[in-house]
Amino acid sequence: MRYNKHNFHKHTFCEFQEVNASDIENLKLNFKSKSGSSYYFTEKGLYRLSNHWGRAANCRWRLKPISSSKTNNSDAKIGYANWTDFYPNNDKEKLFYVEVNWITNEVIFQHKNNPNFQEHFMVRDALATAKRIQIIREVLLETNWSKYLTFTDLEVLRKEIVTLLLTTDETFIKIKQNFNQNGTKK
């Protein structure tokens, strides 16, 4: 499906890139939503000025910040996305996969139509993706899950387990059972 100014807001996933206010200062405001978001359409895409990102009605729109700081939903930010950056969104289909930033331990979901998608990632529906993200965060940020495993390097074990959580449909319990008491895979 091709998205444009008439249908981009109907059940879509999109990752907007934050831009500076100077990028829209010469553009005409095309639409203002009831929630206060402003939209500026161009031939290639759209700019959105909003203080709320994430879930927007029936859409999932994420803002990638200019800096490494987190998006604060009380501050209005401007994001830009090409029409080709919009993908279909619903809760039932297997549309999402999980991405991990191994440096920051940030865990996010992405759409399978994203150009960075790799075939070895497991694609899940929205609920299963959210559950998997929760487990991955637990493995990356906590230690209780490793209580009964013997290992020499927790970071190596974390990476192996998270990789399996990203690329298989195995349960967390089953993945842990596949590691013996030495923390190595059976």
Per-residue pLDDT band for 186 (boundaries 50, 70, 90) equals low
Token readout for 176 is 């842990």
Q: Can you tell me whether residue 13 is helix, strand or coil?
A: strand
pLDDT at residue 14 is higher than 60: yes
Indicate whether this model's pTM tops 0.75: yes
Per-residue pLDDT reduced to its tens digit, 119-151:
999 999 999 999 999 999 999 999 999 988 888
Residues 81 and 102 grouped into a single domain = no
Question: Which of 64, 88, 112 is the endpoint of a domain?
Answer: 88
Asked if 58 and 121 sit in the same domain, the reply is: no
Full 3-state SS string of 73-114:
CCCCEEEEEEHHHCEECCCCCCCEEEEEECCCCEEEEEECCC
Asked if residue 117 and residue 78 are part of one domain, the reply reads no
pLDDT band for position 67 (cuts 50, 70, 90): confident
Residue 107 lies in a domain: yes
Interatomic CA distance for residues 107 and 129, integer angstroms: 11
Distance separating alpha carbons of residues 88 and 93, to the nearest angstrom: 10
Out of 26-30, 99-103, 173-177, pick the least confident. Answer: 173-177
Q: Which of 88, 120, 145 is the last residue of a domain?
A: 88
Question: Are 81 and 112 members of one domain?
Answer: no
> Which two tokens mark 67?
């800096």
Range of the domain at 64: 12-88
What six digits make up the tokens of 8? 């981009």
Residues of the chain above pLDDT 90, percent: 83
